[in-house]
Amino acid sequence: MAMATVATAQLPVYLDDSAPIEQRVEDALSRMTLDEKIAVIHAQSKFSSPGVKRLGFPDFWTDDGPHGVRPDVLWDEWEQAGQTNDSCVAFPALTCLAATWNPVLAELYGRSLGEEARYRGKDMILGPGVNINRTPLNGRNFEYMGEDPLLASRMVVPYILGLQSTGTAACVKHFCLNNDEEYRHQVNVVVSDRALREIYLPAFEAAVKQGHAWGIMGSYNLYKNQHCCQNEYTLNQILKGDWQYDGVVVSDWGGAHDTEMAVKNGLDMEFGSWTDGLAWGASNAYDAYFMALPYKRLIQEGKFTTRELDEKVRRVLRLFFRTTMSNKRARGFLCSEAHYDAALKIAQDGIVLLQNKRNVLPIDINNAKRVLVVGENAIKMMTVGGGSSSLKAQHEILPLDGIKTRLAGTGIEVDYARGYVGDTTGNYNGVTTGQSLADNRSASSLIGEAVGKAMNADYVIVFGGLNKSDYQDAEGHDRKQMDLPYGQDALVEALARVNKNVIFVNISGNAVAMPWRDKVAAIVQGWFIGSEAGKALASVLVGDVNPSGKLPFTWPVNLNDLGAHALGSYPGTWRPDHKIIDEEYKEGIYVGYRWTDKQKKRPAFAFGHGLSYTTFAISNLRLDKSEVSADGTVTATVTVKNTGNRAGAEVIQLYVSDVSGNVDMPVKELRGFQKVTLQPGESREVSITIGGRAFQYWDEGKNNWTTSLGQRTMLVGTASDNLPLKAKFTVK
């Protein structure tokens, strides 16, 4: 008897995970109503936008990063929702990641964060950030990757690839020129096309072309008198035109200002804008968004066709198929041992040993009897606060606790003195540290206590620097000066007078003034390094880990050592109507070390600087060719040897000096680097290949990249001020 056959219904193309994404996009688009199209391009809550329920598309959930998955807030308020399952691993701030100069760790960082996001049901992490460190006063520099476009580019790409490998979209921010927090909605940046292309855009371009980022967030500031969330030049001409970006442009929260501008000038998804929600009422405030009912009315009135809308929806659907509609997403897990190990490794790799007189570090645990820890930052949680990157960490090991734990059983007595009192509040948007840091003693009595204890200590470790309070390292405001707050200078000066082994550990995302720098034995840059902070810092201070971090920015002696301040262009000038600030980047391409090189300024600590507990010898620089074509490459090889008695890692840095004289060029520019780990006595050959943009500059006359022909000098070493090896080659 013949077997009966059963017909199988064929799935619509948009539900077929094996079909090409573009085919699925067009199929889904053809099935959507006008209301469904309008709905998916704007928020429905503080951090979510709607899917298309009729077609089976789930809602889309974003969350702040880039250092961990932010705790959930209420549907329509910034206050925390009070959940008990939204704690996370706090990873080091991105300044620390950049200081590792280690792209392998950037991939680990992104992947670990993506796994936490997946467990929490988040589809997009609002990060990473790659705005350039133009001035150490920018309150948000700690979220970014330093001053150099090549370093930021090399570090952001693997972060994105790691994050998106889990099925979580990256949303690279803040595009672009977001180098101020004070009056960030009013600053109109005036910058040369060359500086824009050579300094401020390369990391974003790498994120798009090499990292294939699925999301880009517009910035609050203006460029060419247009807000960057609705900017014809940056979004339409550069991002979607020149770079052929196929992902979504997301507004920063409240970054949209006008329906017609947003529609025409490249914005795809609007979040956070309140518009006239107070008048409409909280129940339908999201319908009042610029790209909600006001946009729909303009279409219905014939002022727009659906051409622009369909293009935005295509990008949103593409995002859905990469995330919420993908069957290949990671399951994810939260607060795992692997994630804590990753956070610890990144922190240890990024801590920078800035100064080490008499090799006072590492602490000699075999002969020391007393260690005095001083400073509020030794006992203050740093994962809470700072703005949108504030976290609810499952745990945070404080520096004092990390040192006590590491020295337990060694016979070394660990004592503590407060030294200074700073911000004792400890809460942000409903997340509280649970700490009670109030101390009503006077500054003189606090210093007196610390000095008295320091007289009998073998080592005095001062944990100072900044915190994540307003006007320090925090979103929304810039710092008011480079000086340390809370009277820390007087504290350090007093301690240095009574103890020769004072070690200052600076907790910050920015450079600070150190007028007492020559009076202390050692200085360590400790960053904001998250959950494993105390453990990581202790491991470096006692020598369990050999420090290998390198500064991702120039550390000036004072503000006038940087072009933004020397030329008086920061923070800009208010227009007569007092609505907009014009800030001209008069220094052009001369940011950071490019400026100090040009002006022959000696910084406190140079870009790329970082010491080790061992020593390295770099020798025998040779090039594979002495002449290279404009579209070719040249490979430099050096021999690196660990000449000390400890295993350690060194960053080989390659800079190029264009001596052709054809165009105004910096004294030198970073063009390549590689981190190498060596055992005592071990040697290794390290090769770095450069080409393409390494030979080019942005020609404003041609409005394009142009190769500068002629002679170059290659400089290789371990910091921008320590480049002993040189070789010449010619670009023809």
Q: How confident is the model at residue 275 (pLDDT cuts 50, 70, 90)?
A: low
C-alpha 361/C-alpha 371 separation (Å) is: 13
Look at the block and give the residue holding tokens 């932010």.
70
Within 10 Å of residue 592's Cβ, how many Cβ atoms? Answer: 30
pLDDT value of residue 9: 58
Q: What is the pLDDT of residues 203-232, one digit of tens each?
A: 999 999 999 999 999 999 999 999 999 999
Gap between the Cα atoms of 472 and 452, Å rounded: 30
Measured from the Cβ of residue 148, the count of other Cβ atoms closer than 10 Å reads 28
7 pLDDT above the threshold of 80: no
Is the pLDDT at 25 greater than 70? The verdict is yes
3-state secondary structure of 62: strand
Domains of the chain: 13-73+86-322 (3.20.20.300), 351-547 (3.40.50.1700), 614-732 (2.60.40.10)
| Two tokens, residue 415 | 């004592």
Residue 613 has pLDDT above 70, yes or no: yes
Catalytic residue among 180, 252, 287, 597: 252
Q: What is the pLDDT of residue 442?
A: 97
Q: Stretch 676-705: mean pLDDT, rounded?
A: 97
Range in 182-186, 271-275, 371-375, 447-451 the model is least confident about? 271-275
- C-alpha closest to that of 249 among 276, 219, 273, 224: 219
Per-residue pLDDT at 503 exceeds 50 = yes
Q: What is the mean pLDDT of the chain?
A: 95
Half-sphere exposure at residue 659, Cβ-oriented, CA atoms within 13 angstroms: 12
Indicate the pLDDT class of residue 661, thresholds 50, 70 and 90.
Answer: confident
The angle formed by the CA atoms of residues 225, 226 and 229, to the nearest 5 degrees, is 150
Average pLDDT, integer, range 433-453 = 96
Closest alpha carbon to 151 in 130, 171, 176, 165:
130
The pLDDT value given to residue 36: 98
Q: What pLDDT score was predicted for residue 282?
A: 52
Active site residue 252: yes
Contacts 24+ apart (CB under 8 A), 75-82: 75/45, 75/46, 76/45, 76/46, 76/282, 76/285, 77/46, 78/46, 78/429, 79/429, 79/430, 80/392, 80/429, 80/430, 80/431, 82/430
Region for 108 from its dihedrals, namely left if φ exceeds 0, alpha if ψ lies in -120 to 50, beta otherwise: alpha
Q: Cis ω on the peptide bond leading into residue 399 (within 30° of 0)?
A: no
Is the pLDDT at 426 greater than 90? The verdict is no
Which conformational region is residue 392 in: left (phi greater than 0), alpha (psi within -120 to 50 degrees), or beta?
Answer: beta
- Does 279 have pLDDT greater than 60? no
Q: Is 495 exposed, middle or buried (0-12, 13-18, 19+ CB in 10 A)?
A: buried
Residue 498, pLDDT score: 98
- The crossing angle, in degrees rounded to 10, of helices 533-541 and 399-407 is 50
DSSP H helices, 267-398, are 277-280, 293-300, 307-322, 337-350
Burial (Cβ within 10 Å: 0-12, 13-18, ≥19) of residue 32: buried
**Residue closest to 160 by CA, chosen among 199, 217, 208, 117:** 208
| pLDDT surpasses 60 at 5 | no
Res. 283: pLDDT tops 90: no
If you search the block for the tokens 């501008």, which residue do you land on?
Answer: 261
Residue that has been written with the tokens 């007092």 in this structure: 578
Q: Residue 517: what pLDDT?
A: 98
